[in-house]
């Protein structure tokens, strides 16, 4: 496997994030499409609540796949549950930004201050 990785510091913890694979990228976009369908027909507070939940779930999904790429002995759904239960909003946002960057999924404006300085290929 030849995935980029990046170390980030969240509060007093160090976390190693991995690039998502090509198939995981496709699965991520499928996941987002399904979540969007779930919001069809909602209005007002129901739409707002669903949008907030969808954002948190999609961020946790992406982070869990990234972490799983570094430890494939664990169950990815278990990792997703852990991330969903204990990661806060700012930690998810920082991790997702890093994952999108090292996975080549961030727009230029999203990563203009970071040119993959901490990213390095994973050798196995």
The structure's pTM equals: 0.84
> Which residue ranges form the domains of the chain, and what is each CATH number?
4-121 (3.30.2220)
* Integer Rg of the chain from CA: 15
Beta bridge partners of 18: 5
Q: Give the pLDDT confidence of 5-18 residue by residue, as tens digits.
A: 999 999 899 999 99
In this predicted structure, what is the pLDDT of residue 86?
A: 96
Q: Give the pLDDT confidence of 62-101 residue by residue, as tens digits.
A: 999 999 999 999 999 999 999 999 999 999 999 999 999 9
Residue 22 and residue 28: Cα distance in Å, rounded? 10
Asked if residue 122 has pLDDT above 60, the reply is no
Segment holding 97, helix H or strand E: helix 89-102
Residue 6 and residue 24: Cα distance in Å, rounded? 18
Which band of pLDDT confidence, cut at 50, 70 and 90, is reported for residue 108? Answer: low
Q: Higher model confidence: residue 91 or residue 120? A: 91
SS3 96: helix
Residue 36 and residue 28: Cα distance in Å, rounded? 12
Indicate the length of the chain as a whole number.
124
Contact criterion met (CB below 8 Å) for 57 and 81: no
């Amino acid at each position: 496997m030849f995935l980029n990785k990046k170390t980030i510091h969240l509060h007093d913890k160090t976390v190693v994030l991995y690039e998502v694979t090509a198939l995981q990228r496709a699965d991520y976009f499928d996941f987002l499409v399904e979540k969007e369908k779930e919001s069809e027909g909602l209005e007002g507070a129901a739409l707002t609540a669903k949008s907030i939940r969808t954002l948190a779930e999609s961020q946790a999904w992406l982070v869990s796949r990234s972490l799983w790429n570094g430890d494939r002995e664990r169950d990815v759904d278990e990792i997703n549950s852990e991330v969903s239960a204990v990661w806060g909003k700012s930690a998810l946002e920082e991790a997702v930004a890093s994952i999108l960057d090292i996975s080549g999924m961030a727009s230029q404006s999203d990563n203009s201050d970071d040119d993959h300085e901490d990213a390095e290929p994973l050798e196995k």
